[in-house]
Structures are given as structure tokens and as C-alpha cells.
């Protein structure tokens, strides 16, 4: 049986801890939003996301062990760089959205749509971060089946979510205020 390297196990555990930190931020932002009349929309898919993200982390550790996947440094280092870039993008999104960031679709009617930071260029940059991480994290230790399965399932779920989120933003948020130069 091929062993999963201790540093890769630590990396996956750090990503898991980061997910817990995200959930803490999301809970606080949920309270903030609901106190200001926030509306929760399209929440039926939320448990599937939680299950998928948990399965990603488990697959990252189990596939290399059970399928005897070697750690290939020429693949591991670029994938690690992508994992770190995904984390940086994710926290840039969280910081840019502030109280409006959440793991659920919650909109506070009347708030302006955020169009700064990464949202200046990409409508859903946090989902790009998730997609990058879902490919890169497993591939750090050549868990290509996990990367493929996550990507296919995440794409299906995100297609559904982006539709609901786009509707919610269109119906409940105001247009952004013009930026002063």
C-alpha cells in the first residue's frame, strides 16, 4: 500500500480547517444578513455541496492510499501552487463581499451589487476558486479520479446554483453605485 505523505495529509487537513473557518464566517454573515431582512433562496442544493466538499477531502486522502497513487513532484508542486492561488482568490472574494459573502444564497434587498475586487472581472470568482481547488488539491497526490468526479459533480451543482444566485441578485439587489474617479 502506498502511503500518503505526511505533508499532503497536513495540507488536506489545513484545507479542512479553512472550510471550518469559512463556515464560521458564513454563520456570522447569515446572522448579519437576516437581521437586515436578508432572504434565503435556492437552499435545496446546499446539503449536496456540503456532501461533495466533504467527499473531496476524503477522496484526497483515500484515493492515493487505496489506489496506490504516488506523489509525483513534477505534478505536486504546480498543483500546490494552484491550491494556494485558489485559497488566495477565495479569501479575496470573502474580503471583497464582506457581510454579503456566504456559503448559502442570501440577499439583503436594496444592497448594491459588488463590482470591485475580483468581481470587477468575473461574475462568480469564488466558484473559480472552488473549481481550481477541486482539481488541484487531489492532483497534488495524483488522485485523478477524485479530481474528475469532483469536477463533474461540482459543475452540475454550480450550474444549478449560479442560475438561482443570478436570479436572486437580479431581483433583490440594486445596481452598483457609479464609481468616482
Phi and psi based region of residue 100 (left: phi greater than 0; alpha: psi -120 to 50; beta: remaining): alpha
For residue 144, being part of any structural domain is answered with: yes
Rounded CA separation 37/41 (Å): 13
Looking at residue 103, what DSSP letter applies? S
Considering its fold, how many domains does the chain have in total? 1
For residue 159, being part of any structural domain is answered with: yes
pLDDT of the residue at 110: 86
pLDDT of the residue at 171: 72
Rounded CA separation 119/126 (Å): 9
For residue 89, being part of any structural domain is answered with: yes
- Whether 36 and 110 have beta carbons less than 8 Å apart is answered as no
Residue 136's pLDDT band, with cuts at 50, 70 and 90, is very high
The average pLDDT across 112-130 equals 94
Average pLDDT score over the chain: 92
Judged against a pLDDT cut of 70, whether residue 178 lies above it is answered with no
For residue 14, being part of any structural domain is answered with: yes
DSSP run (H or E) holding 77: helix 73-97
For residue 48, being part of any structural domain is answered with: no
Model confidence pLDDT, tens digit, residues 14-71: 999 999 999 999 999 999 999 999 999 888 889 999 999 999 999 999 999 999 999 9
The average pLDDT across 115-129 equals 95
Q: For residue 134, what are the domain limits?
A: 6-41+56-113+124-172
For residue 66, being part of any structural domain is answered with: yes
CA angle 50, 53, 55 (to 5 degrees): 105
For residue 153, being part of any structural domain is answered with: yes
For residue 51, being part of any structural domain is answered with: no
Amino acid at each position: 500500500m502506498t502511503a500518503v505523505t505526511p505533508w499532503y495529509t497536513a495540507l488536506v487537513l489545513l484545507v479542512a480547517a479553512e472550510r471550518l473557518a469559512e463556515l464560521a464566517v458564513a454563520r456570522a454573515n447569515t446572522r448579519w444578513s437576516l437581521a437586515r431582512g436578508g432572504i434565503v433562496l435556492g437552499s435545496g442544493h446546499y446539503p449536496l455541496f456540503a456532501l461533495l466538499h466533504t467527499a473531496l477531502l476524503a477522496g484526497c486522502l483515500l484515493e492515493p492510499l487505496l489506489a496506490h497513487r504516488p506523489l509525483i513532484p513534477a505534478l505536486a508542486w504546480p498543483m500546490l501552487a494552484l491550491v494556494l492561488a485558489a485559497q488566495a482568490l477565495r479569501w479575496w472574494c470573502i474580503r471583497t463581499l464582506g457581510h454579503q459573502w456566504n456559503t448559502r444564497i442570501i440577499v439583503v434587498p436594496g444592497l448594491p451589487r459588488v463590482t470591485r475586487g475580483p468581481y470587477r472581472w468575473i461574475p462568480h470568482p469564488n466558484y473559480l476558486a472552488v473549481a481550481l481547488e477541486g482539481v488541484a488539491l487531489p492532483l497534488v497526490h495524483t488522485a485523478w479520479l477524485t479530481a474528475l468526479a469532483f469536477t463533474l459533480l461540482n459543475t452540475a451543482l454550480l450550474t444549478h446554483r449560479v442560475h438561482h444566485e443570478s436570479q436572486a441578485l437580479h431581483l433583490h439587489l440594486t445596481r452598483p453605485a457609479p464609481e468616482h474617479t
